[in-house]
Chains A and B, each alone.
Chain A
Amino acid sequence: MNALQVQADIAFATLLVAAVVLLLGLVGQRRPTAGVPNGVRLLWEMSIGAADRAAGALPTGVRNRVIGTTVTLFWFVAVANWLHLIPGSALPAPTSDINLALALAAVAMGSVHITALQVRGVRGYARYYLSPWWLAPFKLLEELIKPLTLALRLFGMVFASALMVVLIGEILPAPAAVLPHVLWTLFDVFIGAIQAFIFALLTLLYFQAVLPSAERG
């Protein structure tokens, strides 16, 4: 066990996912249309619109960042979860490794706290955790637990899903394993989307928890 070890397949898969999401983003924003959107553009507009509605009354200055972070995390996690489902792909789902799950959680929570610091200021940020003062330890504990739960939930689900594929292949003989494998793959698509949605939704909720509402001022 070496802390400086790099898992080449996981790292490559993550970079591939990053490239795919970036490519989709650049393709989606390339031709703004005043008419009815379609294709990749429609996917982005649907997810951004959903995040916009779910975000509620956030401060205007950070709205783009919050929605952008949420939507990007959703598509990143979704593509990462689905990567191993591509027929003929030898790459594993990078989210089945704790490194990416932790990186995602760290980025999400880091973005939440940086945004909260920018919006509230240092005093306001501290006041948020120290009022009432006797709850401060619990709030700090909660802030430590949040990224862990985010990362472990995602990692656990995707890892278990990948493990199920291995188990189906190991337990059942080859002809009998085809149907369960196909069924599980379809279920895996669903689980991948659900996990991405949960990750993005929790990130958005964490943003809403620490940011002041625009309606309240």
Chain B
Amino acid sequence: MLESRNLLIPDATFAIEMLALLVVLVVMTRYVVPRIRASMHARQQTIIGALAAAREAEVRRVTVDAEADELRAAARREASEITSQARSMRDHLIAEGRRAGIEDYRWLVGRADRELQRRTRAAESRLQQLARAAAISAARAYVGDDIDQARLEHMVDHHFAAQVVTGRAADRIDSHHRALSALPRESAGRVRSCAADS
């Protein structure tokens, strides 16, 4: 081949190759490359859109996170206030209940004391009546019929009255002793010495 022709001079092969090349070029530039470029462009737009959507979602996420933080902080504040109010209400209710309980207790104790005093007085009166009747009948049996009934009852009553006064005085002395024993020892001694002086 090297000896047969000049390598730098074209021949009719040039025309065939030119034609083939033009056909390839036309097909490629008209149909193939535009379609591939269009799909590349569409993909690029899709990616750009997806990136923009991702950025927007990121911004929204940050905003929502901030809102959630604010809501959490507000809820914590509200919970703290509610807890504080509940504590104060609890303390108030406890104090109120305690005060009411104490009042009820005092009222009940007072009523019980009154009832006790009433019953004690009734029992004392009954006891006095029974003792008086027993004393009168005993005195009647002792003295016989020499004394009239009215005088006998008067004497018994007089005697009973003296006993009652003496009993009350003894009771008062006992209560003083009990009060003194409840005091501290020094105070009790001072009170006794003052009482002895007086």
Contacts and interface: CB of A to CB of B under 8 A. Distances in A.
A204 to B, nearest CB: 14
Contacts of A103: 14, 17-18, 21
Interface in B7-49: 7-14, 16-18, 20-25, 27-40, 42-43, 46
B6 interface: yes
B18 A106 contact: yes
A32 B32 CA distance: 11
Given A29-B31, A32-B36, A72 B9 contact: no
Nearest to B22: A107
Using C-beta atoms within 8 Å of the partner chain, give the interface range for chain B: 35 or more
A114 B14 CA distance: 20
A102 to B, nearest CB: 5
Nearest to A26: B32
A16 to B, nearest CB: 10
Interface in B115-129: none
Interface in A51-105: 52, 64-65, 67-69, 71-73, 76, 94, 97-100, 102-104
Among B23, B34, B38, max chain A CB count under 10 A is at: B34
Contact of A98 (B8, B32, B38, B39): B8
A107 B25 contact: yes
Given A45-B40, A68-B34, A111-B25, A3 B11 contact: yes
A44 B14 CA distance: 27
Contact of A99 (B17, B23, B25, B36): B17
Contacts of A49: 40
B36 A11 contact: no
A178 to B, nearest CB: 25
Contacts of A7: 11, 13
Contacts of A99: 10-11, 13-14, 17
A22 B25 CA distance: 9
Contacts of B13: 5-7, 10-11, 14, 97, 99-100
Contacts of A102: 10, 14
B17 A14 contact: yes
Nearest to B46: A34
B40 to A, nearest CB: 6
Contacts of A18: 20-21, 23-24
Contact of A2 (B11, B34, B43): B11
Majority secondary structure, B binding face: helix
A99 B17 CA distance: 7
A48 B36 contact: yes
Contact of A107 (B6, B18, B34): B18
Interface centre among B5, B6, B36, B39 (most CB of A within 10 A): B36
Nearest to A15: B20
A170 B95 CA distance: 120
A21 B139 CA distance: 157
A175 B30 CA distance: 50
Contacts of B7: 97-98, 159
Interface of B: 4-14, 16-18, 20-25, 27-40, 42-43, 46
Given A44-B32, A64-B34, 15 more contacts: A1-B6, A4-B12, A5-B13, A14-B13, A14-B17, A18-B21, A21-B28, A32-B35, A34-B39, A48-B37, A67-B33, A76-B21, A97-B13, A98-B8, A111-B25
A-B CB proximity, top 9 nearest: A68-B29, A32-B39, A68-B33, A25-B32, A72-B28, A99-B14, A99-B13, A103-B17, A18-B20
25 contacts: A1-B4, A1-B6, A6-B11, A6-B12, A6-B13, A10-B17, A11-B17, A25-B28, A25-B32, A26-B32, A32-B35, A32-B38, A33-B43, A41-B36, A44-B32, A67-B37, A68-B28, A68-B29, A68-B33, A98-B7, A100-B13, A100-B14, A102-B14, A103-B18, A103-B21
